[in-house]
Structure 1
Amino acid sequence: MDTANILTEPMPIRRGSGRTVALLALVGCADFLIFGQELGINLFLFALAVCAGILLSARRRPRLSMAAFSLSLLVLASAPLVESPSLTDVSLCLGALMSVALISARLFPRRLPALPLVFFRFALVIPLRLAEDIRKSLATPGKRFSFTMVRQGVGLWIMPLILAAVFVSLFATANPLIEIALRSIDFAVLLQFLDLWRIGFWMITAVVVWAMLRPRLKRRAKRPPPGRPFMIVPTRNAPFGHASLLRSLILFNAIFAVQTLLDLVYLWGGADLPEHMSHAEYAHRGAYPLIATALLAAAFVLVAMRRGGPGDHSALIRGLVHAWIGQNVLLCLSSMLRLGLYVEVYSLTELRVAAGLWMGIVAIGLVLILLRILLNRSNEWLVAANLVSLLTVLYISSFVDFPAFIARFNVAHSQEISQEGPPLDLSYLSSLGPSVIPALDLYLQMLPSDLIDQRSKAVTARFYLVRDFEMQPRDWRSWTFRSARLETYLLSPAAIARENENDDNKQDQPTQDR
């Protein structure tokens, strides 16, 4: 009997099966690299794996040049993860992965000013993408979910599993090696995969990775039917009309001129302040409120200088806006000077470093608003330019060890070393982590010999910081360039000699106290 006509044709491989395999492989990779491990180079390696999965499972295989560009973009954006992972570094890496996914799906915008809106539309669908695809798959004819199908599927596996168990038991009886191997199986290791936290980690990873493998954008709102466009034409006496806007700008410029004049006299000119007020108090009371003032002023300028508004038809309004933006830029510079004066008296902290960076970002944003008006650009261009400046600052900051920088600054300007600044706050320095150990060594080296109590506190703080650093896990998945630099420093002859000297001084201290 010829059975050639009875055999069914092989089922074609579905186009989505490659993405499913990539999803399972990446979830397993995330479990091996990240779950239960300290964050380090494992995040960087997982990002590379996700990028490879995106490129390999794309519907249309990208050209070699485009794949090399995508991989280079991801490596550049994810490089801060190798230095020391933080929330900012993870955000930069996620943005790069979103860009690679959009490029592979031909959804990357041709104009860079449109990129923030595309990112926003992409981010909106990430949490629901996997659930939506599962729902669509189950709703496909022939694939509808039913308990009958589940029962039938389980029933098909009953006999094979029973017979397989019988064969394994027989082989174990006949072969002692198989028996020993079966007895050595640790079922506790298998049960750890049923941990709820682990399952939750898998689910979150799967949701994010699947959205990267199958990128979609949130649909735009439907446009109104063609016809006469709906427009709001402000009258001359409207809240943002010509008359109101002109009066507002005149009043705002006058108010800001008073503040600018006071800063020029007392901050830049160094004039004596009234009694019972120091420059530090004057600086502290003005640093943060002035940033809020500049942000509010920027929002007002965007509304006032909208396209088709009074600013497009009045040279006087444009001149007043330019003057006001200039005063706001000077206001940001004054805020940075205020912060500097305050740091001179009360030392440097992470919050004050962040405040200085934000002041600089706001000043750049104000300059970009001025350029947007002068060059007649769109709000999309302004948002994209501000996003580029923000990402540039965050990217560069990711490579800076701010705890070490703060520690070196406070040591160099401390009262014990420079005889001018505030006393070194060793408790705050210890809270910054092991990165401050080299600065503490410099402090101990330059500290006068008569300050025994301060030296004892510094030695104690250094001891606990070194102990905490040595207790950190040494798994290769948690390796970072920052921790490797610190470990190299602690193993250097100079650091070992310093530690031995500290131990000797600590042993001699009771004798000196007596």
Structure 2
Amino acid sequence: MDTADILTQPMPIRRGSGRVAALLALVALADFLIFGHAPGINLFLFAVAVCIGILFSARKPPSPSTAALLVGFLVLASAPLLEAPSLTGLAFCVGGLMSVALVSADLMPRRLAALPPVFLRFAFVIPLRLVESINKYLATPGRRLSLVSVRRGIGLWIMPVVLAAVFVSLFAAANPLLEIALRSIDFGVLLQFLDPWRIGFWLMTAIVVWAMLRPRLKRRAARSQAGRTFMIVPARNAPLGHASLLRSLALFNAVFAVQTLLDLVYLWGGADLPDHMSHAEYAHRGAYPLIATALLAAGFVLVAMRRGGPGDYSPLIRGLVHAWIAQNVLLCLSSMLRLGLYVEAYSLTELRVAAGLWMGLVAIGLVLILLRILLNLSNQWLIAANLASLVTVLYISAFIDFPAFIARFNVIHSQEINQEGLPLDFAYLSSLGPSVIPALDLYLSMLPDHLVDKRNEALSIRYDLVRDFEQHPRGWRSWTFRTARLETHLLAPATIARSNENDNNRHDKPTQD
């Protein structure tokens, strides 16, 4: 008999097994790069590895040019992690991986306005994706998990393991090198892999990675036929009707005009305020409440200019809405000027930086609302455009060392250096972390010699910050551009010489009471 007739056909290589192998490899890589190490370049490297795993395990492998483009996009999205690890950088990294996964599975929408719903539908299924795949696998006939199958599987391994142990012991008795190697095995190291925190890290990594390797979207909720057929339109005299909106917009424009006029006179024009009030106090009183006012106004505009509403048929209402939006934009700009005046008088903080960025985003949102009305665009476009502006601001902010920027600003505008403003707040400066060390060095180099107490306090804080920075992990996995820049600054000859000189002055000069 021909042997070709009795040999079975070779088992085909299944794509599912490739994804499982990629999952195990990526979990092992995450354990090597991330677990037990400070975040740094290790997060960036792991994100690139996951991107490559997604491309290799795709049902339809992309072309080399498309693959290179997707990897480049992921590198660009994860670049903030190279500057410094942060929640913002991690969010951009995960968003980049989600984009690569959607493109590889041909689930990426063609329109920009449809991106937010697709990302939300993808994010909702990430925690359950691995469990669904396991249940689907076990539900396949012939793979149902039972006590009998588990016992049978364990029984199949008993004899191979026992015989292998016997062979190893015999080889160890016959080969002293093998015996020494076996005795040198540290089983305590192997027990480290049974750490519950480590196992939990593996599970969390596997859940996220598997969702990227096997992307799915949450099913859309079924829309009722009645919801598509009927639309409630307020009557003319209803709270959101023509008459009510017309009166509301006229009254709102009048109220806002008073505030706008006061800002133009006192804030922009610099007119003298009453004796008991300074420009800094005037600025501080309105910096934050006016942003809440602009947000409330934006919500009202969206309701007033809804599709099919009175704004579509009344030129007067549209004109009042346009005027009101313009006043709200000016209100946001006034709030930013108020914040600037307050910062000049009372120094800069992280909260005030965030407030300034938020004011700018609100102003951009108001302009986008105006464009939506003028161009007759959809609310979906408005949401996508606002998200795009938010993503752009957050991405740029992820590369900025705000503690260093704040410290340098406060040093230059401090009373000791600029002869104006407030004295430098050392307590707040020290809370910003080691990034403020270059600003402290600038402060020490510009500080007048007679301010011995200030110099000693700055030197004490600098010493503590340098010590904290030196205790930061120095492994290659934790490397970032920010720490590398600070190391370069501390190791610069000019910095070392200035530090030695400051230490000598600190010990030579007596401390004034």
Question: Which TM-score tier does this pair reach, normalised by the shorter chain?
Answer: over 0.9
- 1:92 is matched with which residue? 92
Contact 2:83 2:481 in 1 (8 A): yes
Cα distance in structure 2, aligned partners of 1:137 and 1:284: 62
**Offset of 1:506 from its aligned partner?**
2.0
Verify: 1:148 aligned to 2:148, yes or no.
yes
**Offset of 1:196 from its aligned partner?**
1.2
- 1:440 is matched with which residue? 440
- 1:495 is matched with which residue? 495
- 1:68 is matched with which residue? 68
**Offset of 1:4 from its aligned partner?**
5.1
Verify: 1:239 aligned to 2:239, yes or no.
yes
Cα distance in structure 1, aligned partners of 2:409 and 2:240: 48
- 1:310 is matched with which residue? 310
Mapping 1:246-395, distance limit 5 Å: 246-395=246-395
Deviations for 1:387-446, whole angstroms, at most 9, x for unmatched residues?
111111111111111111101100000000000111001111111111111111110011
Q: What SS does the corresponding residue of 2:509 show, helix, strand or coil?
A: helix
Amino acid corresponding to residue 110 of structure 2 in structure 1: R
- 1:26 is matched with which residue? 26
**Offset of 1:225 from its aligned partner?**
4.8
- 1:180 is matched with which residue? 180
Deviations for 1:282-318, whole angstroms, at most 9, x for unmatched residues?
2222111111111111111111111111111111111
Deviations for 1:328-378, whole angstroms, at most 9, x for unmatched residues?
111111111111111112100111101100100110111011011111111
Cα distance in structure 1, aligned partners of 2:227 and 2:187: 71
Verify: 1:195 aligned to 2:201, yes or no.
no
Specify whether residues 113 and 127 from structure 1 end up closer, same or farther in structure 2 by C-alpha distance, changes over 3 A only.
Answer: same
Verify: 1:43 aligned to 2:16, yes or no.
no
Deviations for 1:233-253, whole angstroms, at most 9, x for unmatched residues?
221122211111111111111
Q: What SS does the corresponding residue of 1:16 show, helix, strand or coil?
A: helix
**Offset of 1:12 from its aligned partner?**
2.2
Deviations for 1:40-96, whole angstroms, at most 9, x for unmatched residues?
111111110011011110000111221122111111111111111210111111111
**Offset of 1:453 from its aligned partner?**
0.4
**Offset of 1:226 from its aligned partner?**
9.1
**Offset of 1:277 from its aligned partner?**
2.7
Specify whether residues 257 and 158 from structure 1 end up closer, same or farther in structure 2 by C-alpha distance, changes over 3 A only.
Answer: same
Deviations for 1:204-257, whole angstroms, at most 9, x for unmatched residues?
111111111111111112234599812212211222111111111111111211
Contact 2:33 2:477 in 1 (8 A): yes
Cα distance in structure 2, aligned partners of 1:248 and 1:44: 52
**Offset of 1:120 from its aligned partner?**
1.0
Amino acid corresponding to residue 84 of structure 2 in structure 1: S
**Offset of 1:127 from its aligned partner?**
1.0
- 1:117 is matched with which residue? 117
**Offset of 1:273 from its aligned partner?**
2.7
Specify whether residues 161 and 311 from structure 1 end up closer, same or farther in structure 2 by C-alpha distance, changes over 3 A only.
Answer: same
- 1:479 is matched with which residue? 479
Cα distance in structure 2, aligned partners of 1:111 and 1:247: 38
Cα distance in structure 2, aligned partners of 1:502 and 1:173: 67
Specify whether residues 180 and 376 from structure 1 end up closer, same or farther in structure 2 by C-alpha distance, changes over 3 A only.
Answer: same
Contact 2:253 2:320 in 1 (8 A): yes
Specify whether residues 259 and 227 from structure 1 end up closer, same or farther in structure 2 by C-alpha distance, changes over 3 A only.
Answer: closer
Q: What SS does the corresponding residue of 1:385 show, helix, strand or coil?
A: helix
Q: What SS does the corresponding residue of 2:229 show, helix, strand or coil?
A: coil
Contact 2:453 2:512 in 1 (8 A): no
- 2:449 is matched with which residue? 449
Cα distance in structure 2, aligned partners of 1:499 and 1:228: 72
Cα distance in structure 2, aligned partners of 1:435 and 1:233: 57
Cα distance in structure 2, aligned partners of 1:40 and 1:117: 31
**Offset of 1:5 from its aligned partner?**
4.3
Deviations for 1:160-204, whole angstroms, at most 9, x for unmatched residues?
111111111111111111111111111111111111111111111
Cα distance in structure 2, aligned partners of 1:124 and 1:239: 37
Unaligned runs of 5+ in 2: none
Specify whether residues 329 and 73 from structure 1 end up closer, same or farther in structure 2 by C-alpha distance, changes over 3 A only.
Answer: same
**Offset of 1:275 from its aligned partner?**
4.0
Cα distance in structure 2, aligned partners of 1:290 and 1:200: 46
Amino acid corresponding to residue 351 of structure 1 in structure 2: L
- 1:215 is matched with which residue? 215
Cα distance in structure 2, aligned partners of 1:297 and 1:356: 19
Specify whether residues 165 and 9 from structure 1 end up closer, same or farther in structure 2 by C-alpha distance, changes over 3 A only.
Answer: same
Cα distance in structure 2, aligned partners of 1:477 and 1:284: 44
Contact 2:233 2:309 in 1 (8 A): no
Q: Which moved more, 1:382-391 or 1:258-267?
A: 258-267
Structure 1 residue ranges, 4+ long, deviating more than 3 angstroms after superposition: 1-8, 223-228
Cα distance in structure 2, aligned partners of 1:119 and 1:22: 23
- 2:402 is matched with which residue? 402
Cα distance in structure 2, aligned partners of 1:213 and 1:314: 52
Cα distance in structure 2, aligned partners of 1:20 and 1:226: 45
Amino acid corresponding to residue 101 of structure 2 in structure 1: A
Cα distance in structure 2, aligned partners of 1:226 and 1:387: 31
Unaligned runs of 5+ in 1: none
Cα distance in structure 2, aligned partners of 1:74 and 1:469: 30
Specify whether residues 227 and 363 from structure 1 end up closer, same or farther in structure 2 by C-alpha distance, changes over 3 A only.
Answer: closer
Q: What SS does the corresponding residue of 1:208 show, helix, strand or coil?
A: helix
Amino acid corresponding to residue 60 of structure 1 in structure 2: K
Cα distance in structure 1, aligned partners of 2:437 and 2:227: 70
Q: What SS does the corresponding residue of 1:308 show, helix, strand or coil?
A: coil
- 1:158 is matched with which residue? 158
Cα distance in structure 1, aligned partners of 2:99 and 2:251: 45
Q: What SS does the corresponding residue of 2:79 show, helix, strand or coil?
A: helix
Cα distance in structure 2, aligned partners of 1:40 and 1:28: 18
